[in-house]
């Protein structure tokens, strides 16, 4: 990343901050309008302990992640990365790596030693990033049925 001094990562904790993150998150979650987005973030924060963090470059949000704690019989206690997106004008600058490392550090500091995520089948560049750059293992397929 160029000019390290201008980079800041912080957890977004209120509606005003979530609104600031929406234009970047919208690039990943294209089906959500701002009202739906805010409603889901609020509910997930209250009920699922969802956390959102943003990477700022010169006080502008350029990347956003959302993650939550989970417990399953497969993984035990772990962190699930729900969302990770870098603004389309700011890709390949190390922002996604920095934000995912933020999640890794948060996880370790809070007693979680597994971080897991899913990525759409069409997102080949993201898969390369997760496997090659971030050293994630591809361990399963995620299946979905709309009812």
| Local confidence pLDDT in tens for the 147 residues of the chain | 444 568 999 999 999 999 999 999 999 999 999 999 999 999 999 999 999 999 999 999 999 999 999 999 999 999 999 999 999 999 999 999 999 999 999 999 999 999 999 999 999 999 999 999 999 999 999 999 999
**Nearest C-alpha neighbor of 125 from the set 89, 79, 85:** 85
| Residue 53 falls inside a structural domain | yes
Contact between 135 and 97 under an 8 Å Cβ cutoff? The reply is no
Question: What pTM did the predictor assign?
Answer: 0.92
Q: How far is CA 22 from the centre of its chain?
A: 13
Burial label, 96 (beta-carbon count in 10 A; 0-12, 13-18, 19+): buried
68 occurs within a structural domain: yes
Q: Is residue 38 part of a domain?
A: yes
Domain annotation covers residue 32: yes
Residue 144 lies in a domain: no
Residue 143 lies in a domain: no
Q: Does residue 24 form part of some domain?
A: yes
Q: Specify the number of domains making up the chain.
A: 1
Q: Are 40 and 29 in contact (CB under 8 A)?
A: no
Q: In the sheet that 51-57 helps form, which strands lie side by side, from edge to edge?
A: 7-12, 51-57, 60-72, 76-86, 115-117
CATH number, domain of 30, equals 3.40.630.30
Domain membership of residue 73 as a residue range: 4-133
Q: Is residue 50 part of a domain?
A: yes
């Amino acid at each position: 990343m160029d000019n390290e001094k201008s980079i800041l990562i912080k957890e977004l904790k209120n509606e005003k901050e979530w609104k600031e993150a929406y234009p970047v998150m919208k690039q990943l979650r294209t089906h959500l309008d701002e009202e739906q987005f805010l409603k889901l973030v609020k509910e997930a924060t209250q009920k699922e302990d969802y956390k959102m963090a943003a990477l700022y470059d010169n006080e502008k949000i350029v990347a956003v992640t959302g993650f939550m704690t989970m417990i399953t019989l497969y993984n035990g206690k772990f962190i699930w990365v729900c969302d990770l997106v870098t603004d389309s004008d700011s890709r390949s600058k190390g922002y996604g790596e920095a934000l995912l490392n933020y999640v890794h550090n948060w996880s370790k500091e809070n007693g979680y030693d597994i971080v897991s995520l899913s990525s759409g089948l069409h997102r080949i560049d993201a898969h390369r990033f997760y496997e090659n750059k971030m050293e994630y293992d591809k361990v399963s397929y995620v299946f979905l049925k709309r009812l």
